Structure 1
Amino acid sequence: MTDLANPAPEIAAGEGTAGRSLWAVAMMRLRRNRAAMASLVVLVLMALAGIFGPMVAPHDYSEVYPEFVKVPPSLAPYPQQDQIVPAAEEALARARVEIASIEVGGGGVTIMVTSESREIDPRITRYLDRSDVFSGSEMVEVSGDGLSATMRADVRELYFIAGTDANGRDLFSRILISLRISLMIGALATGVALVIGVLYGATAGFVGGRLDNVMMRVVDILYSLPFVFFVILLVVFFGRNVVLMFIAVGAVEWLDMARIVRGQTLSLRRREFVQAAESLGVRSRDIVRRHIIPNTLGTVIIYMTLMIPKVILLESFLSFLGLGVQEPLTSLGVLIAEGAKNMRNAPFMLFWPAATMTVLLFALNFLGDGLRDALDPKDR
């Protein structure tokens, strides 16, 4: 009797041990998945690059360099040695002077010019400053009769590690800003679709009966409406607001989410734990919130990781129609479309945006698989 009245010391010590919640267990299992954690790190790095990259990029994403159109990627600075002399000749072509000699060296260029009939205007140095290749030009020496002069200008070193596009804009800076726009579009549209679709589908599947029938017929009616017409109406009434437009995209994409969640809910509502909650008098909305929705998260997250690239591709289609992202902003879909047009003479314009999109999609898929395994109620 004494032994029964006084529990063993180890049992008494274990009474204060706190149990793990299902979310804590899921996070622990997710951390064990190396591919998912590596994908999470990649996504975080890409998000940081999209947010802060354009602020520290060497060039503004909208700055145009007419002298450097479709130049290939290079770790060496532009202009290259064989480009300096032609650039100087082109810059002084309208200065009404004859170029006697051009010497390149010391990080700059020395140009001797002559004129047959009129004195050389010192302001011709402005022609060099207007060029993307030269800066700090000055008149070093002028002859007594003013018919010959020597100018010197510094050669600007411009780095295009990913090349430039068809307009002469730095492709690396444009990939960074496109990463920001694409991730913002994917997050906004997917978030809207997630909230509306999960609540709508879980409610319809759990309540059932006539309400379920009516709610699904509403979904069928919305499926029949032309999506492009819906977007055009939004543009007419609210203008070309990127955020508003892709909230509207999410408000349409929730239809698939609602059907998937409804199907999962129909199978869950017959499970023993749901029937036990009903017999204990738990309210329907609490059952949906605490039992139905958490048990559909695995499927929802998998579909969500597939929806983000779908939304990004949908955005590129709208931008092609002139209804999406407008210049000078861009997105990965727009860059890939532009690269496809110049694939023969400038393949790097397609390679870098496509590689960025590929890495983004792989990371989303690996992370989705890891979350699916971690949140699967059958494996808890």
Structure 2
Amino acid sequence: MTDMTVDTGPVQGESRSLWATAMLRLRRNKAAMASIFVLIVLALAGIFGPMLAPHSYSKVYPEFVKVKPSLESYPQEEQVIPAAESALRRARVDLGAIDVEDGKVRIEVSSDSRDIDPRISRYLDRSSVFSDAEITIDPADPKKGVIEASVQQLYFLMGTDANGRDLFSRILISLRISLMIGALATAVALTIGVIYGATAGFVGGRVDNVMMRFVDVMYSLPFVFFVILLVVFFGRNLVLMFLAVGAVEWLDMARITRGQTLSLRRREFVQAAEALGVSGRAIVRRHIIPNTAGTVIIYMTLLIPKVILLESFLSFLGLGVQEPLTSLGVLISEGAKNMRNAPFMLFYPAATMTILLFALNFLGDGLRDALDPKDR
């Protein structure tokens, strides 16, 4: 008896799932992959940037209001002497020679009416220009003395705003706030919209009709009016922003999910699940919602920039984030007011928002192409 072997030919490669194929196509999209890298960088900058920034986003430098962006340290050499004169203006002393050398300032002071008070050095310490001020009073003549202090080196890579706060630090914290509002409000909108739309589309009939008429009524309410009512009753806070934006943006998601559900409800696997006695809730959870994930993910990447723009619009109107926190919308609003004499205050926040929105839109386009069933 001989063993017989059957040649089945070359082994066929394993078939890829929809998600594996989509990820493969997404990796080939250079614009989408570059957008993912940019979004990761911006997210890390928003999360860790404020902790690593050289200045606090709320720190005010009265001597450096609307200073221009520079790679050199402030104060510049020609600003030290005026800053010293301004700091000692209320000390009731006469200023003599002021010498600046090697990061140190030496100021001769005198008084005609009384002895020098050693506490006048505190006027320099209170200034954001000087530190470690010490006064030496002439033992032979207590009405004369010399103050020595260190000149601080402050770097404002993107300049300062109208209150003297570092614009670079404020852009970093605004990235955190804008991305947080965009992500959380989008999560709220998707959660409500997917569940609501999937339920309406699967149940159908009068229930679907009533649920979608409620959506139509919500569409008729002015968004700004809705936000103003929330502000009047609950005040201004970040949670309010999540609720206000998420409570409106879920309407589009509900309609999209309902349309997808109506087409999926007639598919064979749903009818098979019904024939096996699977409950409607289980079918929606296990079959309907997972099969709408592609559309949901694409819409999410398009909804986040829309939410960020809505938050910026509300902040521009004064209904959004409040001081000392800030967002990209707040910074753009402030920059628009000072664009004539300080155009950098508008340029840097606007450029940051433009990069963020472009990256999100390119990623959304890449996901749409990768998950398009016509390209399988």
> Hey, what's the Cα distance between the residues in 1 that align with 2:17 and 2:279?
22
User: In the alignment, which residue of structure 2 is the partner of 1:98?
Assistant: 94
Query: Which of 352, 370, 375 is matched with 1:356 structurally?
Result: 352
> Hey, what's the Cα distance between the residues in 2 that align with 1:196 and 1:176?
30
Q: How do 1:59-138 and structure 2 match up within 5 A?
A: 59-138=55-134
> Hey, what's the Cα distance between the residues in 1 that align with 2:241 and 2:86?
45
Q: Does 1:304 align with 2:300?
A: yes
User: In the alignment, which residue of structure 2 is the partner of 1:26?
Assistant: 22
Change (3 A) 1:180 1:136: same
Q: How do 1:12-51 and structure 2 match up within 5 A?
A: 14=11, 19-51=15-47
> Hey, what's the Cα distance between the residues in 2 that align with 1:263 and 1:344?
49
Query: Which of 325, 328, 341 is matched with 1:329 structurally?
Result: 325
Moved more, 72-81 or 218-227: 218-227
User: In the alignment, which residue of structure 2 is the partner of 1:159?
Assistant: 155
Query: Which of 366, 369, 372 is matched with 1:376 structurally?
Result: 372
3-state SS of the aligned residue for 1:117?
Answer: coil
Partner AA of 1:347 in structure 2:
P
**TM-score calculated relative to the size of structure 2:** 0.91
Query: Which of 197, 203, 208 is matched with 1:207 structurally?
Result: 203
Structure 2 unpaired stretches of 5+: none
Change (3 A) 1:349 1:261: same
Contact 2:241 2:311 in 1 (8 A): no
User: In the alignment, which residue of structure 1 is the partner of 2:339?
Assistant: 343
Superposed CA deviations along residues 77-99 of structure 1, whole A, max 9, x for unmatched, are 00001100100111111111111
In the TM superposition, what is the alpha-carbon distance from 1:23 to its structure 2 partner?
1.8
> Hey, what's the Cα distance between the residues in 1 that align with 2:161 and 2:168?
10
User: In the alignment, which residue of structure 1 is the partner of 2:255?
Assistant: 259
Change (3 A) 1:188 1:253: same
Contact 2:68 2:159 in 1 (8 A): yes
Partner AA of 2:199 in structure 1:
T
In the TM superposition, what is the alpha-carbon distance from 1:173 to its structure 2 partner?
0.5
User: In the alignment, which residue of structure 1 is the partner of 2:7?
Assistant: 8
3-state SS of the aligned residue for 2:106?
Answer: strand
In the TM superposition, what is the alpha-carbon distance from 1:222 to its structure 2 partner?
1.7
In the TM superposition, what is the alpha-carbon distance from 1:109 to its structure 2 partner?
0.8
In the TM superposition, what is the alpha-carbon distance from 1:126 to its structure 2 partner?
0.8
User: In the alignment, which residue of structure 2 is the partner of 1:231?
Assistant: 227
Moved more, 298-307 or 65-74: 298-307
**TM-score calculated relative to the size of structure 1:** 0.90
Note the aligned Cα RMSD (angstroms): 2.6
3-state SS of the aligned residue for 1:154?
Answer: strand
Identity percentage of aligned residues = 77
In the TM superposition, what is the alpha-carbon distance from 1:271 to its structure 2 partner?
5.7
Moved more, 249-258 or 266-275: 266-275
3-state SS of the aligned residue for 2:175?
Answer: helix
Q: Does 1:221 align with 2:221?
A: no
User: In the alignment, which residue of structure 2 is the partner of 1:182?
Assistant: 178
Q: Does 1:149 align with 2:145?
A: yes
How many residue pairs get aligned? The number is: 376
> Hey, what's the Cα distance between the residues in 1 that align with 2:93 and 2:234?
55
In the TM superposition, what is the alpha-carbon distance from 1:240 to its structure 2 partner?
3.5
3-state SS of the aligned residue for 1:328?
Answer: coil
In the TM superposition, what is the alpha-carbon distance from 1:287 to its structure 2 partner?
5.1
User: In the alignment, which residue of structure 1 is the partner of 2:312?
Assistant: 316
Structure 1 unpaired stretches of 5+: none
> Hey, what's the Cα distance between the residues in 2 that align with 1:192 and 1:162?
35
Contact 1:234 1:245 in 2 (8 A): no
Partner AA of 2:64 in structure 1:
F
> Hey, what's the Cα distance between the residues in 1 that align with 2:350 and 2:320?
19
3-state SS of the aligned residue for 1:94?
Answer: helix
In the TM superposition, what is the alpha-carbon distance from 1:286 to its structure 2 partner?
5.3
3-state SS of the aligned residue for 1:120?
Answer: coil
In the TM superposition, what is the alpha-carbon distance from 1:261 to its structure 2 partner?
2.5
In the TM superposition, what is the alpha-carbon distance from 1:321 to its structure 2 partner?
4.7
Superposed CA deviations along residues 127-152 of structure 1, whole A, max 9, x for unmatched, are 11111100111124525122221111
Partner AA of 2:90 in structure 1:
R
User: In the alignment, which residue of structure 2 is the partner of 1:198?
Assistant: 194
Partner AA of 2:27 in structure 1:
R
Superposed CA deviations along residues 84-127 of structure 1, whole A, max 9, x for unmatched, are 01001111111111111111111111111122222111211111
Q: How do 1:254-293 and structure 2 match up within 5 A?
A: 254-270=250-266, 284-285=280-281, 288-289=284-285, 292-293=288-289
Contact 1:163 1:172 in 2 (8 A): yes
In the TM superposition, what is the alpha-carbon distance from 1:247 to its structure 2 partner?
3.1
Change (3 A) 1:276 1:32: farther
> Hey, what's the Cα distance between the residues in 1 that align with 2:312 and 2:370?
33
Contact 2:69 2:159 in 1 (8 A): yes
